Amino acid sequence: APPIRPVVIGPGEGALKVGGETVIFRHEKTFVNKPGIGLLITDAMGDAELEGRLKTFRELEYERVGLLLKADIVAVKDTTGDAGKFAGTVEKVIKAGIKNLVLMSDTTGVLKAGVAAAADCKPLLYAATNGNLEELGKLALEHNCPLAVKGNGLEEVAAMTAKLTEMKIKDIVVDTGARKLSRA
């Protein structure tokens, strides 16, 4: 496998592929998969705001250095703790024609509801931590979804990814928890 395993988020030809790189710096060769351009929405947004953001998402595209860039992934974040509301928001995003999703919640039950609503979309589940690692690992395996892990530093994340690998999970996205460039 390449040093950075490729992970596919979403179904079919329009899926977003991340990772799979064999270089770290652009001057060494070329990047294989372009970075995704995404939108973050929450389950607390009203219908008008949600529809406006999704419309902008679908229409966003621009040309840069001969490449046509467009938005290609939506992250749905749980801010209410309500599994039904979260699943409803996921359904609205899918009805808008968007299939590349990140489902974000600290609550396993809310993520389960989101995965049920996005059953055919192969969403990225965000994020497994030391407190919910086994539950989210089982959920990711059951629905064949990629899983993000989030920790406080590389050592903690490395230990969690080792446990997930033992569970036979291969599609893992790493969040070291660094939120400042100097720490990253």
Residue 132 three-state SS: coil
Contact 170, 149 (CB under 8 A): no
pLDDT in the model for residue 33: 77
Over residues 118-162, the pLDDT tens digits come to: 989 999 999 999 999 999 999 999 999 999 999 888 889 999 999
Neighbours of 167 (CB within 10 A): 14
Neighbours of 3 (CB within 10 A): 10
Kindly state the tokens that stand for 69: 């860039």
Neighbours of 141 (CB within 10 A): 14
Q: For the chain, give the mean pLDDT.
A: 90
Q: Between 47-59 and 83-95, two packed helices, what is the crossing angle to 10 degrees?
A: 40
Dihedral, 34, 24, 174, 79 alpha carbons, nearest 10:
-50
Contact 163, 133 (CB under 8 A): yes
pLDDT in the model for residue 127: 93
Averaged pLDDT, 1-24? 81
Q: pTM, whole model, 2 decimals? A: 0.89
- Count how many Cα atoms sit within 13 Å of the Cα of residue 167 in the half-sphere of its side chain: 21
Averaged pLDDT, 63-71? 83
Indicate left, alpha or beta for 159 from its phi (over 0: left) and psi (-120 to 50: alpha). alpha
Report how far apart, in Å, the C-alpha atoms of 82 and of each of 44, 93, 103, 110 are: 10, 17, 14, 7
Kindly state the tokens that stand for 107: 């609550």
